[in-house]
Amino acid sequence: MLGDLFYEAKGRIRSKRVLDLEGPKTESSYFLGKMRGKIEVVEIGTFIKTHISNGFFFVEGKDIVTVKGSHDEMATVKLIRSSSSKVISGSNFYRSSNNGKLSFLNNLVGVHEASVDKDGNILYKV
C-alpha cells in the first residue's frame, strides 16, 4: 500500500449480470464498510468487468458512499483497475461536499487493493 490507509472494508458481491458476450463484459453490485477506522459507511457500487484475454481484465466502477444511518451526507467514487492476479489494484477518484464526516474525500485520489474469493466475498483497502 502507498500512503495512509483510510478505508478498509469487507463486503460481498450481491448480484451479477452479463452485459455483453463479446469481450465478455459483466456487471456486479456490492456494498462495503468503515473509513478512518471509525466512520461507518455504506458503499453501494457497481463495476463493469471486461475480460480481455489470458485471465486479464479491465474494471470501471461507480459507487456512492454514505455515512451509516444518514442519507444527507454522501460521496461519489469512480474507480478503474486492471489485473490478471487475485489481488486487484487500481485508482479511486472521490467527490464529496466540503463539510461533514466525508469532506476529507473531496477531490481525493486513492490507490486501492481488492481481493474477491470464489464466493464473492470482497476485502478492500484504500
Q: Give domain limits for the chain.
A: 7-125
Give 7-125's CATH code, choosing from 2.30.30, 2.40.350, 3.30.43, 1.10.10.
Answer: 2.40.350
Look up residue 89 and give its three cell numbers.
489494484
One pLDDT digit (tens) per residue for the chain, 126 residues: 567 899 988 888 778 888 888 777 877 777 677 888 888 888 888 888 888 877 788 888 888 888 988 877 889 899 887 776 667 788 999 999 878 899 999 999 999 888 888 888 888 889
CA 66 to chain centre: 13
Cα–Cα distance measured from residue 27 to residue 19, given in angstroms and rounded to the nearest whole number: 7
